[in-house]
Amino acid sequence: MRNERGFTLIEVVIAFAIAALALGILFKAATGGMIAVATAGRYEEAVSRAKSHMAAIGHEGAITEGETEGDDGSGFHWRIRIVALAATSPADGAPAPFLQPASRKPTLYSVEVGISWKDAGRTREFLLQSQRIGAPGGETDG
């Protein structure tokens, strides 16, 4: 009987193949994690930008129907869509402060703010929707 002293060449090649496969899987998992963190960061920034645009609606002047868009910097693009849903009139017997001329009737608006950006060759978008009450004169509540 001969004493075995070490590994044969085939055992060494198999060990290297297993190690290479394990390292490849670990590298892919780490890379996927970093991509997910970067994507989550971009979504977080998009949410912050959308909230900022939403907060500005009605504070810069009267709420008006329509769609506007523009570049927000850092690869982000914004779009705001405002649609009037309903105009109200005061109920019979309403207190005098609520009586307003017809041109100043409170109106309910549907407001949608969209922030889009390119990420890994795909266009991603975050939409923030709300409703605001406004009057043609620029007074808002919402």
- Beta-carbon neighbour count of residue 114 at 10 Å? 19
Alpha-carbon distance 139 to 142, whole Å?
A: 10
Instruction: For the full predicted model, state whether its pTM sits above 0.75.
Output: no
**In this model, does residue 95 exceed pLDDT 70?**
no
- Position 60 scores a pLDDT of 77
**Does any domain span residue 3?**
no
**In this model, does residue 49 exceed pLDDT 90?**
yes
CB neighbours of 90 closer than 8 A, spacing ≥ 6?
Answer: 98, 99, 100
Specify the range with the lowest mean pLDDT, choosing from 16-20, 96-100, 126-130.
96-100
**In this model, does residue 8 exceed pLDDT 80?**
yes
Specify the range with the lowest mean pLDDT, choosing from 56-65, 67-76, 99-108.
99-108
End-to-end CA separation in angstroms for the chain: 91
**Does any domain span residue 75?**
yes
**Does any domain span residue 25?**
yes
**In this model, does residue 4 exceed pLDDT 70?**
no
**Does any domain span residue 83?**
yes
Q: What is the DSSP string of 32-50?
A: HHHHHHHHHHHHHHHHHHH
Where in the sequence is the domain holding 58, given as residue range(s)?
9-141
Q: Determine the average pLDDT of the residues in 73-96.
A: 79
**Does any domain span residue 1?**
no
High-pLDDT (> 70) share of the chain, %: 78
- Position 94 scores a pLDDT of 54
Alpha-carbon distance 13 to 21, whole Å?
A: 12
Q: Determine the average pLDDT of the residues in 34-38.
A: 91
**Does any domain span residue 62?**
yes
Question: Residue 139, SS3?
Answer: coil
Question: Each residue of 92-103: b (16+ CB within 10 Å) or e?
Answer: eeeeeeeeeeee
**Does any domain span residue 2?**
no
8 A C-beta contact, residue 101 and residue 82:
no
Work out how many domains the chain is built from and give that number: 1
